[in-house]
A and B are shown apart, each in its own frame.
Chain A
Amino acid sequence: MGEVFTAAVLVAVVASAIRLAVPLLLASLGETFGQRSGVLNLGVDGIMLLGAFAGYYAVLKTGNVWLGLLAGAIVGLFLGLASSFIAVTLKAEQGISGIGVYLFGLGMSDLLFQKLVGTPIPINTFPKVDIPILSDIPYLGPMFFQHSTVVYLAFAAIPVSTFIINRTTFGMNIRAVGEYPEAADTLGVSVAGTRWAAETIGGTLAGIAGGVLAISLGIFQQNLTNGAGFIAIALVYFGAFTPLGIMWGALLFGAINALVLELKTLEIIPRDLSNLAAMAPAIITILALAVVARRIRAPAALTKPFTRGH
C-alpha cells in the first residue's frame, strides 16, 4: 500500500485526467457562450455525437485528423444554427427543445454510422506532440507536455474564451443579453443576433468536442459520448459560468475518474467497493456543487426568450 501513491501513479492520473477533461472542457466552454447569452442548450450531447461521427467519418475517408476536426466543427456549426433557430427565433421551451436535439443527434449519428460504415474500423488518432524542453522536465513533462495538439488547443481556448467574454464588445453584448435583454435592446444591441451567434459558437464547440472525442479514441460507436454532453452542461454551472471555473470543474471530473481507474488497476479498491467508487465522480460533483452553489448566480435571463415590449 505504501507504494500506491508513487510519482508514476500521480503522473498517470494527471495525464489521464487531462485527456478525459478535454472533450468536456470544449463542450462546456461552448455551452458557456450560449448560457451567458441566456440560451440553455440541452442538446449538447446530441451535437457532440453528430460531431463525433462526422469527425470519425472524415478521418476514415481522408486519413487526415485535422479534416476530421473541421468536419466535426462544421456539423456543430449547423446544429448550433438549428438550435438557435429553435430556441431564439421560435422561442421554444429550451428545456424541451434541447432534448429533441439530443435525441436527434443520438439517433442520427447511429443511423449514419450503420448506413455509411457498419462495422467499426479504427482511424488515425491525433499525433502526440512533445513540447520541446518542457516535455523533458521530470514528472511535469509527462503530465502536461506530452499530449496531442488538440489538448493544448483546448486549454488555449480557456483564456481566449475569457478574453472574448470580458474584453470584446461581442462578449459584453453576450453578457448584457443574458442578464437584461430589455436593456441591451433599448441600446440597439440585437438580442436575437447576439444569442444566435453565441449559441452557434456553442454548437460549433460541441461539434469540435465530439470530433476530438472520436478522433482521440480512434473509433466510433453508438452513443460514443455516453452522456458527456450533459456533464458539460453541469460543468457550466459548476464553473460559475466562467471559462476558468469550467476548466477546474472538467479537470476535477477527469481527475476523479482517472484516480478511480488507477486505484482499480492497482487493485487497492476492494471489489465490493468498486461500485461505490464508480459513483465517486457523481458524489463529489454534487458535494462540490453544494459547496460552490451559494456563490453562483446564473444569468438572469437564462432560458427566457426575449420579446420586445414585454
Chain B
Amino acid sequence: MKTTLLSFCILLLVSVPQAYPITVSSKNFTESYILAEIFSKKIKDDFPEHEINRKLGMGGTGILFGALTNGDIDFYPEYTGTIAEAILKRPELKEISEINKALLPLGLIASKSLGFSNTYAFAVKKETAAKYLINNISDLATLPDLRYGFSYEFLKRNDGYYALAEKYGLKNTNVKGMAHGLAYEAIESGSVDLIDVYSTDAKIKRFDLHILEDNLEFFPRYDAVILANINFVKEYPGLWLHLKSLEGKINGPEMVKLNALVELGNYTFKDSATSFFTPFSATDKERKINFGQIWSKTREHLFLVFVSLLLAVVIGVPLGYLATCSGWLRHSIFAVSGIVQTIPSLALLCFFVPFLGIGLAPTLTALFLYGLLPIVRNACIGLESIDNKLKETSQVLGLKKMQSILWIEIPLSMPSIIAGIKTAAVINVGTATLAAFIGCGGLGSFIVTGLALNDINTILHGAIPAAILALILQYLFDVADRFLIPKGIRS
C-alpha cells in the first residue's frame, strides 16, 4: 500500500506538463557510459513522457562539473573520492552526508552509493582464496609466502602498497613490479598469486578472480553515486527519487559483469545497461561498422568545421586587413591569435565551458579561434605583398577606399587568403574531433568511445573518416582555387 501511494505521489510530481529535456551525461570510460545509460533507461522506461538528452563521453571532471553547475546537464555518474578530491578539494570528506553538506553551496547534490566502489583492490584466483581461506586483506597477514605482482604506480604511491602493508601488518617480501596490463596474464599463468586491480575491471570476471575485502578501509572510497544539479532535483523531485531507487542496487560483481559485456563481449553501452534490468545470457558479439552512424557523425563534423570556418573567414579577413593598417594593431592581433594557437585544443575547449556551457557554443568558439590565426596571418601577408604602385594607381584612378579593398586588394591577395582558409579547414577537421569531449558529437564521438573501450576498431571509425574528410577538403579547395583566384594572377 505504501509503495503504491509513493508511486502515485511520484507520478503526480513528475507529470508536469511542460517537461524540458533532461540531460544525462557521463565521462569517457566504459563504466561511466554504462551507468549513464542505466540512468536514462530508468527514466525512459517508467516516465516515457520525458525527453532525455544523452551527452555522454565528456572529457573530464572539470568539464562535467562546469556543465553541471551551469545547468547544461542535469546529472551524471561520479565517485565520492573524485567529488571530495577533485571537485571539493577536501579529501578528508568520506561520508556522503558530509559531502552533500559541502556540495550544497555549489548547487549540487549526490545520491547515496549505487552499491559499489571503484578503487584499488586486491584480487586472487578463486582457487587460491578457497585453498588459503582468504576473504579479506587481514587474512593475508598469516600468509607471508604468497607472491605479489603489483603495478608500478601502486608500488610507488605514498598511499600504495607499503602504507597498506604497514596498516595490515603484511610481511611479504616476494613483491614484483609489473605493467598493469600484464598483471591478469601473470596471475592466470600462475607466476604470481595476488595482484592489484581496479575493483570493477572487466577482466576480473574474464579471469574469474576473487576480490579481497578491504576490511580496515585502507583504500579511499570511490563509491559510485549520481551527482545532480539541485535545480533538477527541485524541479523533478519525483524523477530524482526514482533515480535514487538505484541506490545500493548495483554491486561490485554486477558492475564488473556489465563492464565485461562491453569491453570483452563487444556489446554496446546500451545493451549492457539493458542487461542490468533484464539479464540475458551473453555471448561475445562481433562489432560491425555502422555506416549510417558514421555518415550522421560526419555530417555533425562538417557542420562544426564549416560554421566555425565561415566565422573565422568573416572575422579573420577584416582583421588581417586591420593588421596591415598599423604596427601596434598588427602586433596585438598576431600576439593574441598566436597565443590562442599555443593553447592545447582540449584545454581551450574546457576553458570555455564555465562561460559558454557545453555543446555547440564553446566548440564553435574554440574552432573559430583555432581557424583565426592562419586566416588572419595569410590575409595580412597577402594584403601586404601587394605592390604599393597598384594601391596608388587605384587612388589615382579615383577608386574609393572600399572599392580599392574589394576590387583590387582582396582579389590580389586571394591566393594567400585561400591558402590560409585551407590551412584553417584542415586544422579544424582535426580539432573538431575533440568536440566530443564537451558533448558536441562529430567524428570524435567514435574516438572518445574507442579510447574508453581501448578499441582501435572504434577509434578508426572516427579517425579514418576524419582523415578522408581532411583530404577531400584539401582537394575541394584546390578546385575552388580555380574559381576564387582571378584568372590573371593564377599560377
Real complex partners, A and B?
no
* Residues in A lying within 8 Å of B, measured CB to CB: none
